[in-house]
Structure 1
Amino acid sequence: MATPLFLGLVGSVVAGFLVTVLLTGLVCEQAPRLGLLDRPTQARKVHRRVTPTGGGIAIAAGLAVGLGVLWGFWGSFPGAVQSLSFWVGAAIMLATGYWDDKHALDAKAKFAFQLVAAYLLLHSGTILPLSGGHADALSPDVVAGALPFSEALYIIPLSMLWIVGIINAVNLIDGLDGLATGIIGIAFLACAALFGVKGEIALTAVGIVMAGALVGFLPHNFKPATIFMGDSGSLLLGYLLAGYTLQGPLHTDPVLALLILPVLLGVPILDTGTAIVRRFASARTIFAPDRRHVHHRLVDRGTEQGAVLTLYGVGAWFGSAAVLMGVLPAVWGYLLAGGTAVVAVVWAWRLGCLTPVPAAEGADARSQPVGGLAENEIPVPVDIITTGDPASVGGDGASPEAVQDRSADEPEADETPIAP
């Protein structure tokens, strides 16, 4: 019995991987015709040439095929993963991201769609583990009507905050080639490992298949990226990651179960948390962009590839700590959580991520690329569009003859609720 299940898992991972690889290449080729191009119109963007975006479409297809094959071998999925509302919410996030990649959706509209998706995720029975330490303890019926009013007053808002917050945190770290893809994949694998040691084998298989689809996208997305995942990818994956982490038991101690969640997603939460603190300390709105994100500071101290690989290691460290917290006695779990938090905050502080942003630097964030310009280097025009052979477009940039000036009055894409 175990052998067919194992072969089914392997087949699911391979199917999701291959579909993502093949469709990513197709989306990359067709991106100019589809209007899915990321233009470096914002100076804080690292890339300086037109690059295809919308890779989330290929990732979504890989996930659908991989999970479909897994369902065929293993049967119905556990928990809310088999709920229709769970996947309708995912479809809304994919469609919202696609529309934003193509037409630049208003930030308020994106936030509204995120709330709708979060509601659907709650309707599937997915809520924070505030009732005994088990995230899967409540069914959709309980969430819909049987949840005591006194608990619903705080469980529902906090669950919505978790879902929307993770969606935007994932969007924020999508700032370097391959960064978000790898960090999300590591988080899926860490959570799958935690579910595995808790005996939730089917949930573990779901997480492994999701990570497999991301591995299929990474060769196209690692520097020099030939395509970006775009908001179609970051919004979808943020939603799935927020929902997946709440599908199984984390720890019998309810408080420690809650602490495991931010450790599992340590990199995006650390980056978002330091951004909020930094901007408050600078007497600026939390929506104001700057160049003090964790990945920005690492790039300033080295290279883009080095920054990405460093954050992969940090993500693996957070994931390993979360798995250990899930199996250790409560006291040791609290000590590990506290130690992990202290080390992470000190590291971010040493990098300068908590340093208030001077007014002049805040203004320069809109006029200087990340990492600055080399001496005598000519900045890229702020509005460019790719023409000619679609296959020639890549993350390493289009050739000079493949770009032309575009009207300067074209609206720039709005940011998600917290600006990168």
Structure 2
Amino acid sequence: MNPAISLGLLALPRHIALMAGLAIFSAIIVRGMIMLGVPDRPDARKAHSRTTPKSGGVGIVAAFMLGVLLLHRYGQVSRIAEGYFLGVIGAAFLMAGISFLDDLLDLSFVIKLATQLAAAVAAVAAGLWMPTLALPYYGVLNLGWAGMPLTVFFLLFVTNAMNFIDGLNGLAAGVTLFACLFLAGIAGIYGGFFVYTASLLLAGGVLGFLPFNFPQGRIFMGDVGSQFCGFMLALFGIAATRFEGAPLSFLLVPLLLSGVLYDVGFTLIRRLLAGENIARAHNGHLYQVVRRAGMDARVVALLHWGFTLLGGVCALVFLNLPPAWKPPFLLLPLAVQIGWTFYVRRRARTANIGVW
């Protein structure tokens, strides 16, 4: 066995203890945010019917930042270069800060996008970008400098996808939790111990928040949580591609978030083809439509957790398949999402839902 992997396995109990400690720390912060009561008032496009506190994601952010600072100070196996750590911390702090201000002040889409872009550029400037991309059949594609804007686009898309999907209790938080656990497991197997440990840190923060949000929503994650989780998951995927040894590691996050990315991509394309203003708020995502058609919101959230579990299993199998079998195997999560789309469409017709 690889000595680094053996050392990582020996440290596993400590890492689990750290995750549990961060979960407790996150829960304390979340309880404080419930008392603080940043209000999220109901409207026609939201699922809740009474004013509920939001910005529970502050607990997730605080726990992760505490964990990554401890990792930076005391980490051994899980270390990466100083500049990359500073890039992760700086970009994460910038993303969390502007997202929290958005929860408080309801900032315009332009301001949010500009700040997200600044966070993504900060990560790229620290070296977290993809100079190459391994593709089935083709092999390694040298992206050159084009890897920088492609990385920025990927970071922005995943960040906003998680933000858009955060409309039902437990959906975004559960998806993030299971995605982090799979990422940690896969990174640990392949010796990518920064991604392994950082994923456990984020999982700890989410684990402390989730009981307050599912099955009953005592507090919502808010933009500070959903955008931060999306940004960090995307960043972990980039870090794995840039610094880790796992083959085709860029595909790990798209596989894990297949349900989220498909829903957002499908909805965006459908609205563009319909000539709608894509910057305008709406309730036409697949998960929103099926809830409007009568499916219990808790069931919708659990189904999306299941999509993440399926993506995680597919990622594990994918990494060990012969090269010729890998491209067809990628169609499995897509086929599941297409089937889900037809089910939502049929249910919407039965419920006489007209405009999505």
Compute the TM-score of the two structures, normalised by the length of structure 1: 0.73
1:156 corresponds to which residue?
148
Shift of 1:80: 7.8
Name the stretch that deviates more: 17-26 or 181-190. Answer: 181-190
Shift of 1:269: 0.3
Pair 1:187-2:184 in alignment: no
- Give the unaligned 5+ runs of structure 1: 134-147, 366-420
Measured against aligned partners, the alpha-carbon deviations of 1:84-139 in whole angstroms (never above 9, x if no partner) come to 12211111111111111111111100000011000011112112362557xxxxxx
Match of 2:122 among 120, 123, 136: 120
Give distance in 1, aligned partners of 2:65 and 2:275: 44
Higher helix share: 2
Match of 2:321 among 322, 328, 337: 328
Give distance in 2, aligned partners of 1:295 and 1:80: 41
Shift of 1:257: 4.8
Check the 8 A contact 1:8/1:73 in 2, yes or no: no
Match of 1:347 among 324, 337, 340: 340
1:59 corresponds to which residue?
60
Match of 1:111 among 109, 113, 120: 113
1:8 corresponds to which residue?
14
Identify if the C-alpha distance between structure 1 residues 242 and 26 changes in structure 2 by more than 3 Å, giving closer, same or farther.
Answer: same
Match of 1:199 among 191, 205, 208: 191
Secondary structure of the 1:291 match is coil
Match of 2:298 among 298, 305, 308: 305
Secondary structure of the 1:83 match is helix
Give distance in 2, aligned partners of 1:352 and 1:102: 36
Check the 8 A contact 2:84/2:128 in 1, yes or no: no
Identify if the C-alpha distance between structure 1 residues 205 and 257 changes in structure 2 by more than 3 Å, giving closer, same or farther.
Answer: closer
Give distance in 2, aligned partners of 1:26 and 1:252: 40
Identify if the C-alpha distance between structure 1 residues 62 and 350 changes in structure 2 by more than 3 Å, giving closer, same or farther.
Answer: same
Give distance in 1, aligned partners of 2:259 and 2:209: 20
2:98 corresponds to which residue?
96
Give distance in 2, aligned partners of 1:80 and 1:125: 11
Match of 2:239 among 240, 247, 258: 247
Name the stretch that deviates more: 57-66 or 285-294. Answer: 285-294
1:47 corresponds to which residue?
48
2:30 corresponds to which residue?
24
Shift of 1:274: 1.0
Pair 1:236-2:237 in alignment: no
Percent of pairs identical after alignment? 26
Check the 8 A contact 2:56/2:219 in 1, yes or no: yes
Identify if the C-alpha distance between structure 1 residues 273 and 120 changes in structure 2 by more than 3 Å, giving closer, same or farther.
Answer: same
Letter in 2 for 1:50: T
Check the 8 A contact 2:60/2:202 in 1, yes or no: no
Identify if the C-alpha distance between structure 1 residues 3 and 85 changes in structure 2 by more than 3 Å, giving closer, same or farther.
Answer: closer
Shift of 1:327: 2.4
Check the 8 A contact 1:12/1:69 in 2, yes or no: no
Higher relative contact order (CA 8 A, sep 6+): 1
1:370 corresponds to which residue?
none
- Give the unaligned 5+ runs of structure 2: 1-6, 136-141
Shift of 1:239: 1.3
Give distance in 1, aligned partners of 2:235 and 2:9: 29
Letter in 1 for 2:198: V
> RMSD between aligned alpha carbons?
2.8
Pair 1:265-2:257 in alignment: yes
Check the 8 A contact 2:96/2:228 in 1, yes or no: yes
Secondary structure of the 1:245 match is helix
Give distance in 1, aligned partners of 2:173 and 2:148: 29
Q: Highest CA radius of gyration, 1 or 2?
A: 1
Give distance in 2, aligned partners of 1:81 and 1:344: 39
Letter in 2 for 1:343: V
